[in-house]
Amino acid sequence: MRWCVCARLVDNWGDIGFAWRLVRALRALGEEARIVVDDAGALAWMAPDRGDDPRVETWPGRTADAADIAVETFGCGFPEGLRAGVFINVEHLTAEPFAARSHGLPSPAGGRTVWFFFPGFDGDTGGVLGPAISRPEPSAGSGERVVTAFGYANEAWSGLVDALAADARPTRILALPGGAADGLRRALGPGLARAAVRVEPVAFRSQDGYDALLASADLNLVRGEDSLVRAVRAGRPFLWQAYVQADGAHVAKVRAFVERYGRDAEPALREGLQAAFAAWNGFGQPGAALALPAAAVWARHAASFADGLAATPDLAERLVRFASLKWRALPPSDATGVHRVTP
């Protein structure tokens, strides 16, 4: 089928990051897919060697080519004049119960039906975007702990360094540009070091390069949605920083995720994860120091959770299956003038 995936750059690069991964995943399944985005600048480092990768179209603008399936990511809307047989809104990932209740429901919008597709961590949702990330085998090394840091502004960066420094293990934090690098610089000063902890600023990686970085680290600090999924897929311990919303909706989102992520964890780890994620997102016990769960137990759980997800169909596979059913139910020629051809 012919797919058109649409994205608008709202919060830095997560929106186009997800859309680009989705288009790549669809093409890996044999689908014909292109991307329409209002700002493709981030692809210069996110996908530096595009080769035969998807066609990129600029939005705003009028798209001339029809699509069998049109996807708006996160309710971004569709370009003017886009004709398609099936319209789908792939929503934000959440572990909250409403995702399963809302997944697959239709909504009338602008004279067309748009189908809701909710990502999630269980079988009654749309799943999470792949692919799984290969984890390198543990090897004897210097004993240095490697931490990757990608985040928004956060008051807890200094507390994180304290937690890492508590066991005196040599630790190198690879800080990507933005809130992480800025926060660590404020916490540590120009020397970028405290006790056995030192910070090394690094440049943005391509998507594949970032996956490899996550898989090789001992702890990953991630933000937003696309990076959360990659941290989960990497199967390494991580802390997720949700995008702060004025109405506090991010608190429920974090709590729901930690409940799902820690469902099969040992009780002590589950409690440690709840406290650490709450402190990292600014709603933990007042005055409580950030404490990290036991590393070995956490690492085993992270790998087990990732392996469980890898054994189930990913978001792209479920989306193709979902869209195919809606496509086959169309009349031979729908109201948009796009003629149905059974894939």
E strands within the chain? 2-7, 32-37, 55-58, 67-73, 84-90, 106-109, 112-117, 145-149, 171-175, 193-194, 197-201, 219-223, 238-241
At 257, list the tokens.
């995720």
pLDDT of res. 226:
93
Looking at the structure, do residues 59 and 204 belong to the same domain, yes or no? Answer: no
Looking at the structure, do residues 86 and 183 belong to the same domain, yes or no? Answer: no
pLDDT of res. 72:
96
Looking at the structure, do residues 103 and 149 belong to the same domain, yes or no? Answer: no
Instruction: Give tens-digit pLDDT for 214-234.
Output: 999 999 999 999 999 999 999
Looking at the structure, do residues 91 and 150 belong to the same domain, yes or no? Answer: no
Stated pTM of the model? 0.92
Percent of residues, the chain, with pLDDT higher than 90 = 75
Q: Where in the sequence is the domain holding 187, given as residue range(s)? A: 145-310
Contact 129, 22 (CB under 8 A): yes
Angstrom distance (rounded) from CA 304 to CA 299: 9
Angstrom distance (rounded) from CA 185 to CA 151: 13
Task: Please state the rounded mean pLDDT for residues 42-56.
Answer: 76
The residues carrying an active-site annotation are 15, 225
Whether 81 has a pLDDT exceeding 50, the answer reads yes
Looking at the structure, do residues 275 and 172 belong to the same domain, yes or no? Answer: yes
The count of domains in the chain is 2
Angstrom distance (rounded) from CA 227 to CA 151: 10
Instruction: Give tens-digit pLDDT for 199-219.
Output: 999 999 999 999 999 999 999
Angstrom distance (rounded) from CA 83 to CA 70: 8
Looking at the structure, do residues 297 and 268 belong to the same domain, yes or no? Answer: yes
Looking at the structure, do residues 101 and 196 belong to the same domain, yes or no? Answer: no
